[in-house]
Every structure is written in C-alpha cells, then in structure tokens.
Amino acid sequence: MLERFPITQYINEEGELVRQDIKEGLSLDLIKIFYEKMLRARMMDKKCVNLQRQGRIGTYVQYEGQEAAQVGSALAIEEGDWMFPSYRDHAATMTFGHSLRNLLLYWVGRIEGGIPPEGKNIFPPAVPIASQLLHATGAAWAEKKKNTDRVSLVYFGDGATSEGDFHEGLNFASVFKAPVVFFNQNNGYAISVPTEKQMNSKTIAQKGLGYDIPSIRIDGNDILAVFMETQKAVERARSGEGPTLIEAVTWRYGAHTTADDPSKYRDQSESDRRRTTTDPLLRLERYLKQQNSWDEEWLASIEQKITDEINTALAEMDDVPEAEIEQLFNHVFEKPTWTIEQQREHHMSIKRGQV
Amino acid sequence: MTTAVQVKKLTMVQAVTDAMRTMLEEDESVLVLGEDVGINGGVFRATDGLIGQFGEDRVIDTPLAESGIVGTSIGLAVNGFRPIVEMQFLGFIYPAFNQLMTHATRMRQRSMGRFTVPMVVRAPYGAGVKAPEIHSDSVEALFTHIPGLKVVVPSNAYDAKGLLIASIEDPDPVLFLEPMRSYRSSRTEVPEEKYSIELGKAAYVKKGHDVTVLTWGAMVSDTVKAVEKYEEKYEATCDVIDLRTLYPLDKDVIAESVRKTGRAVIVHEAPSAGGVNGDVISVINDTAFFYLKAPIQKVTGFDTPVPVYSLEREYLPSSDKIIHAINMTLSY
Ligand SMILES: Cc1ncc(C[n+]2csc(CCOP(=O)(O)OP(=O)(O)O)c2C)c(N)n1
C-alpha cells in the first residue's frame, strides 16, 4: 500500500522544487502569499498558547506544525464553498475568512466564537470526533441537488478514521457522488495513541479504496503539494466527478491541547528535529533563498502587520462585554418553550434577589 | 487481636484507580479498555500506572471508536471477560448509545440468561470545570431510561471505590458516572483493602428534621454548603441524601426521610425535562404521599444545552436557588 499511495511532494525539505512541470506557472508572489498566510496562522497559534498560559483564555487546541496542511487546503476553495473544521483547524478557518476576534472568543468559551462572518459557510468546529464528515457530505449533496458547483471541504484527524461516522461519510459521498473533499491531517497521534495502534493499515488514503473514492497521500508540510492537490480534488468535485480523500501527512509539534502532556507518550525531541527539517515555513524560506528572493525586510514588515492584526483582535476580545445570561435561553428553539421561559423567569428573579 | 485497617487519603479519581487496580489484581478476567487509557493513563489519569502493572493485554488503548469499544466489550463480556470501559467524556458516549440501548442491556433477557454482559462503562461528566463544549453534558436520564442498565454516581472517594468495585462485580451492565468537578476537589479516607458498597443504596450525608434534600454527584457538596448556609440563618434543619445510584433508586431511604420531614427538594444539574427528578418525585408519590406538607421542589439545570464555559456557572444550580427552594417548601 505504501507503494500504491506514495507521498506526493512539490517542494522538498531542502526547499528544492521536485516537480519541474509546475515551474512555469509558479510565481514568487504566490509563494510569498503562502508564506505570509502560514506565518499569520503560526503567530496566532503561539499567541493563543501564551494567552492560555496567562489564564486569559481556556484550554486551547494548538496546530503548530500543521500550517501547510490547513492553509494550503483552505486556499483551494472559494467564497460560497463550505468548510467543516474540527477543533484543531482554526488555521484553516482563519485563512478562509473567520475573524480572529471570534476565534479568540471561541477559546474564552463564548458562543459568538463559532459564528462565521456573513456569507462564509464555515461550520462551528466539530468537537465529537468524525461527526462533521457526514455534515460535509450532506451539504455537498444539497449543492448537487441544487445544481450549483459549490463544494464541501472537511477536516479530520487520523484518529477520526476509526469512527463509524468516517466510514458512513465516505460511503454516502461515494453512493451519491457528493462534491466533497475529505481532508485528513495525519499528524501521527490521536492524543496519545500513535497511528500504528489506531489502525493496522499503513495509510489512510487506502481506506478510500473500499468506497471507490479516488484517494491520495501528500506531504502535508509542503504547502504547494497541499494547495495544488486540493485544488485538483475541488475541481473534480465541482465538475460533478464526486468525492476525493486526501491524506496529508504531517506532525503536531506540541501537545494535543494545552491540557495534555505529550512527554507521557512520545519523545518530544522528534518535534525539535522537525522544526529544522520538515517545517512548512522553513521549507518556503529555503525555497525563496534559493531563488534569491528571501527578504528580511519583507519578513519584518509582514510580521509587524500580523502582530498589529492580532493585537487588534485581542483588544476586540477584551472589549466584548460579558456574556449575556439571555444567551443561555435564546436560540435553543426558534420560539422558547414554556419550560424554558419559566426557567428564564425564575433564574432572573433569583438573580435579582426578588424572591 | 484486631488488625488495623490501612487507610489513605485519596481524591476521587485516585479512588477510582484504586478500585480498578484492586479488581485487576483479584480477577484475571477484568480488563480496562478505552481511548488513551494505556500509556497516557487516561486524560484524567484515572488509569494511571495500570498498564505498567498489568500490561497492554489487560489495559488496552483502543482505536478511537466508542461504538466499537462498547460493542466489542459486549462480545468480550459475553465470552468470559469483565470489561471496564472508559468513555473519555460522557458527552462522547453518543456513538455507543446504540450498542448500550439495543444490545448490552437486553442480552440477558433476549437469551433468557444464556448470555450475560457483566460490563462497566465509566464516564467523567458534568459542568463546572471550564471544559470545551459537549464535554460537560449531564445526561444521566438518557441512561436511567434504558431498561437493563444500572446507573451509579459517586460523590466522594470512599464511595467511588466501594461503588466501582460493586459495579465491576455486578453481573449486569453498569454505567458509572464520575463527576469531573469532584475528581480532585477533596480527599476522603479510603481503606486500602477491597470493600464494596451495595448498588441501589442511598446515603445520608447529613441528618435534620424539616426538609429532605435529595441530590447526587458534584451537586452533593454544593448542596451541603447551601444547606449549611441555610441552617445558620433559619430555624429549620435538613436531611441531605446522596442518592448514589440513580437506577434503581433507593426507595426505602427516600421514603424514610420524606415521611419524617414531609418536605422534599431535589437538586440536580441536568436539564429538568425528562430528568431523574421525575423518578424521585414518583417514588415520593408512591411511598410518602400522605406525609407531604408541601409540593416537592426541584432545582435543576435548564432545558438548554450545557453552555460553553463563559456561562456554565450561571447554568449550574446556585446556593441561592437551593435556599430559595427550601424556603418555598417550608413556607407553603
Ligand atoms: C466521539 C469522541 N470521542 C472522544 C473524543 C475525545 N478526543 C478529543 S480529540 C481526540 C483525539 C483525536 O485524534 P485525531 O482524530 O487524530 O485528531 P487530532 O486531535 O490529532 O487532530 C479524542 C479521543 C471526542 N472529542 N469525540
């Protein structure tokens, strides 16, 4: 299976273009956009980890190391398409247009955090594992029924492929030829469980075989491979050819969440090694250097721009008034039931000390 | 000559580990299965150290699939093992609901006793620890509604060990709910030796005369605090009862106390509609109706999803609400 599903790469770890056929169309501007988007994601992630350590936000789920997989794939869809993230995929959602303010609000436990900007079809992050694959399939199926060329892009981890919902999602998409791209980030671990203990199969891509879904394995730290191959899958979906399964092989540098201690189950020196080898940002830096296009001033200027953007979002987060108690009771139904009305009344009167 | 019982002060989560260790040592057929229960020792460390002591054939890191874990455990249980399954959080048991509802709990009856499922499903649950969404659901009533399933909820370390051992020894499936908020909030003295607490038996947490306050899980300590506040200010005193087993309920203790006080308040953090409060009220109707001096009061969560953490304190029953309910029943 490893031979059948080789890992596709466009730019290798040394920053060399290994796919000469794309050289023509490859512009430095595009590479710089990729770099900037990944840097933005990384800086935001680091900020969030720090905020958690300072107690300013709650438990946080980091994605450092997975920027290429998330940013590259998110750039391959367009406005009007659908995105279905899990709890780890905020690099994807922020690239697709989710506001940094709401991203922060999500992690301070605010309902507003899950709300995408007007016009953007981004689902609130799925917390139960693999459940979102079916939603993505359903939404894509709806687009097909409505005769549009809109597609769904759905994110999930390696552990998610063990759940029934993963298999049901693939099967439905295959049966109904739904225009959905199943984007797996194989980061090697589901919390503490390494992929070899999660599954006996050597690849995740091969799981598509059982459903007759075209499946590929790509270097998830190579943003060019991620972008180009996701784009192809998106095009297939748009043109009515049905779903694709993409396994992006990557690595999370840090803990599963800020509440987890990875030293219990893995040697963190592997992360240190990868920061100097497979790192998605470093790879583009190397590429740009080889093209004599690396520019420290440019880097400083985009860093400044991103810092400003993050600081603005932080200020917005701090400015948000406390959550309104009413939020508890609103939006459970379109029209609250009498029980909810009664509970709201009772709760508020006790709070006001009126009884 | 009497030998002194060795006791140590444990948190509830340590007592849970201690119960599993005790049973893994005693009975070769006991297994621990779940996500991250092995090397990692569970995300709450409830299985910490067990894989080192018993090996990976008995403390098993499974693939990430709740239906798979519970479904295969049914097969293991039918075929000679006693699986203790850890759900990482109760809010993630829903994929396994089908297996519990349609198979685990009916196997004995469907086979007229030929096949049985001596299995325990443990699950941390409840609000108040600032967990992300879905992690804090308090849905015990979904399970008390499943015929053939016992539902147990300890509120302190001593009970946790005794009740978990009884659950593991029980010949039928048991759902063992562990209130996350109580995992490390206090320590109680726990004997090192094996002991069990009979399922289906409630406990008096404190005794009084005028009102019976019934609760379970993490709400036990909150309720005791509210009642103490109440008793400092007012004349009346309360029985506080920790139900400990939600199915089957301890109808004798409920009846005994409500017949004495004539007044009852039920406190739980789960939504009110379809909640266990209804079953408790039904027991009171059946056993103490003519002793009642006031309508039964209930203090519960709302009929809304457990909110994300910025509002979860608002969701949980407050001291004020408990005191208000006690006042309501007394002033009726
Ligand atoms: C149904 C369900 N079961 C268990 C959990 C607890 N849990 C949260 S993340 C996680 C591991 C997921 O691993 P993977 O799918 O590989 O994604 P990753 O976190 O590595 O991105 C688990 C078990 C959950 N969220 N949902």
Q: Where do runs of H (alpha helix) occur along B216-318?
A: 219-233, 251-261, 276-288, 312-315
Residue B118: pLDDT band by 50, 70, 90 thresholds? very high
Answer yes or no: do B132 and A193 touch at CB < 8 A. Answer: no
Look at residues B143, B163, B191 and tell me which one is the last residue of a structural domain: B191
- A1: Cβ below 6 Å to ligand 1? no
- A158: Cβ below 6 Å to ligand 1? yes
Q: Is residue B197 part of a domain?
A: no
Nearest CA residue ID for atom 8, ligand 1? A129
Instruction: Let me know whether A349 and A286 are in one domain.
Output: no
CATH number at residue B126: 3.40.50.970
Instruction: Let me know whether A214 and A272 are in one domain.
Output: yes
Does residue B166 have a pLDDT over 90? yes
Instruction: Let me know whether A239 and A281 are in one domain.
Output: yes
Q: Is residue A119 part of a domain?
A: yes
Query: What confidence score (pLDDT) does residue A232 get?
Result: 98
Comparing CB atoms, the residue among B61, B130, B318 nearest residue A109 is: B130
Answer yes or no: do B132 and A58 touch at CB < 8 A. Answer: yes
Contact B326, A355 (CB under 8 A): no
Instruction: Let me know whether A300 and A329 are in one domain.
Output: no
Residue B12 distance to chain A (closest CA, Å): 19
Instruction: Let me know whether B292 and B167 are in one domain.
Output: no
Q: Is residue B67 part of a domain?
A: yes
Choose, from A252, A274, A283, A286, the residue flagged as catalytic.
A252
Query: What confidence score (pLDDT) does residue B80 get?
Result: 97
Instruction: Let me know whether B265 and B176 are in one domain.
Output: no
Let me know if A135 is a catalytic residue: no
- What is this model's ipTM? 0.93
Query: What confidence score (pLDDT) does residue B3 get?
Result: 66
Contact A40, A313 (CB under 8 A): no
Query: What confidence score (pLDDT) does residue B265 get?
Result: 98
Q: Is residue A2 part of a domain?
A: no
Comparing CB atoms, the residue among B94, B311, B320 nearest residue A327 is: B311
Instruction: Let me know whether A27 and A156 are in one domain.
Output: yes
Instruction: Let me know whether A44 and A139 are in one domain.
Output: yes
Comparing CA positions, the residue from A163, A188, A154 lying closest to residue A70 is: A154
Answer yes or no: do B324 and A58 touch at CB < 8 A. Answer: no
Instruction: Let me know whether B71 and B219 are in one domain.
Output: no
A18-65 pLDDT, tens per residue?
998 888 878 999 999 999 999 999 999 999 999 999 999 999 999 999
Residue B2: pLDDT band by 50, 70, 90 thresholds? low
Instruction: Let me know whether A171 and A304 are in one domain.
Output: yes
Nearest ligand 1 atom, CA A61: 19
Contact B198, B166 (CB under 8 A): yes
Instruction: Let me know whether B187 and B214 are in one domain.
Output: no
Q: Where do runs of H (alpha helix) occur along chain A?
A: 28-53, 67-74, 90-96, 100-107, 132-145, 164-175, 195-198, 223-238, 269-276, 280-290, 296-319, 338-351
Q: Is residue A90 part of a domain?
A: yes
Q: Is residue B61 part of a domain?
A: yes
Interface with chain B: mutation pick from A132, A163, A333, A342, highest number of B CBs within 10 Å: A163
Instruction: Let me know whether B53 and B98 are in one domain.
Output: yes
Residue B314 distance to chain A (closest CA, Å): 7
Calpha distance B10→B181 (Å, rounded): 15
Instruction: Let me know whether B47 and B128 are in one domain.
Output: yes
Q: Does B92 touch chain A (CB under 8 A)?
A: yes
pTM score of the predicted model: 0.95
Instruction: Let me know whether A229 and A331 are in one domain.
Output: no
Answer yes or no: do A127 and B308 touch at CB < 8 A. Answer: no
Comparing CB atoms, the residue among B63, B302, B311 nearest residue A343 is: B302
Residue A180, SS3 per DSSP: strand
B67-93 pLDDT, tens per residue?
999 999 999 999 999 999 999 999 999
Query: What confidence score (pLDDT) does residue A87 get?
Result: 97
Instruction: Let me know whether B237 and B175 are in one domain.
Output: no
Sign of CA dihedral A187, A191, A197, A201: negative
Neighbouring-strand partners of residue B60 = B33
Q: Is residue B196 part of a domain?
A: no
- A44: Cβ below 6 Å to ligand 1? no
Domain extent, residue B169, equals 7-191
Answer yes or no: do B41 and A347 touch at CB < 8 A. Answer: no
Percent of chain B surpassing pLDDT 70: 99
Instruction: Let me know whether A272 and A354 are in one domain.
Output: no
Query: What confidence score (pLDDT) does residue B1 get?
Result: 52
Query: What confidence score (pLDDT) does residue A110 get?
Result: 95
Residue B216: pLDDT band by 50, 70, 90 thresholds? very high
Chain A residues in contact with B131 (beta carbon < 8 A):
59
Instruction: Let me know whether A115 and A30 are in one domain.
Output: yes
Nearest CA residue ID for atom 3, ligand 1? B92
Comparing CB atoms, the residue among B40, B92, B272 nearest residue A339 is: B272
Comparing CA positions, the residue from A283, A214, A246, A240 lying closest to residue A76 is: A246
Instruction: Let me know whether B306 and B245 are in one domain.
Output: yes
Comparing CB atoms, the residue among B43, B63, B320 nearest residue A350 is: B320
Contact B123, B35 (CB under 8 A): no
Query: What confidence score (pLDDT) does residue A57 get?
Result: 95
Q: Is residue B198 part of a domain?
A: no
Instruction: Let me know whether B152 and B13 are in one domain.
Output: yes
Let me know if A265 is a catalytic residue: yes
Instruction: Let me know whether B268 and B304 are in one domain.
Output: yes
CATH number at residue A170: 3.40.50.970
Q: Does B68 touch chain A (CB under 8 A)?
A: yes
User: What one-character-per-residue DSSP string does A236-262 give?
Assistant: HHHTT---EEEEEE----S-SSTT--G
Chain B residues in contact with A348 (beta carbon < 8 A):
none
Residue B8 distance to chain A (closest CA, Å): 26
Instruction: Let me know whether A332 and A247 are in one domain.
Output: no
CATH number at residue B272: 3.40.50.920
Amino acid (1-letter code) at residue A122: I
Residue A142 distance to chain B (closest CA, Å): 25
Instruction: Let me know whether B111 and B42 are in one domain.
Output: yes
Domain extent, residue A171, equals 7-323
Q: Is residue B2 part of a domain?
A: no
Look at residues B191, B224, B244 and tell me which one is the last residue of a structural domain: B191
Residue B2 distance to chain A (closest CA, Å): 42
Q: Is residue A55 part of a domain?
A: yes
Tokens 């006042």 belong to residue: B327
Query: How far is residue A228 from each of residues A75, A137, A225, A235, B68, measured CA to CA in Å?
Result: 10, 22, 5, 10, 36
Mean pLDDT by 10 residues, chain A (355 residues): 96 94 87 98 98 96 98 98 98 98 96 94 97 98 97 98 98 98 98 98 98 98 98 98 98 97 95 97 97 96 98 97 94 96 96 83
B235-247 pLDDT, tens per residue?
999 999 999 999 9
Instruction: Let me know whether A146 and A274 are in one domain.
Output: yes
Q: Which residue of A has its CA nearest to B90?
A: A128
Q: Is residue B1 part of a domain?
A: no
* Domain count along chain A: 2
- For residue A150, which phi and psi values (nearest 5 degrees)? -80, 150
Q: Is residue A24 part of a domain?
A: yes
Q: Which residue of A has its CA nearest to B65?
A: A163
Instruction: Let me know whether B156 and B207 are in one domain.
Output: no
Query: What confidence score (pLDDT) does residue A220 get?
Result: 98
Residue B254: pLDDT band by 50, 70, 90 thresholds? very high
Neighbouring-strand partners of residue B214 = B241, B266
User: What one-character-per-residue DSSP string does A14-27 give?
Assistant: TS-B--GGGTTT--
Chain B residues 124-153 with CB within 8 Å of chain A = 130-135
Query: What confidence score (pLDDT) does residue A160 get?
Result: 98
* Domain count along chain B: 2
Look at residues B139, B160, B191 and tell me which one is the last residue of a structural domain: B191
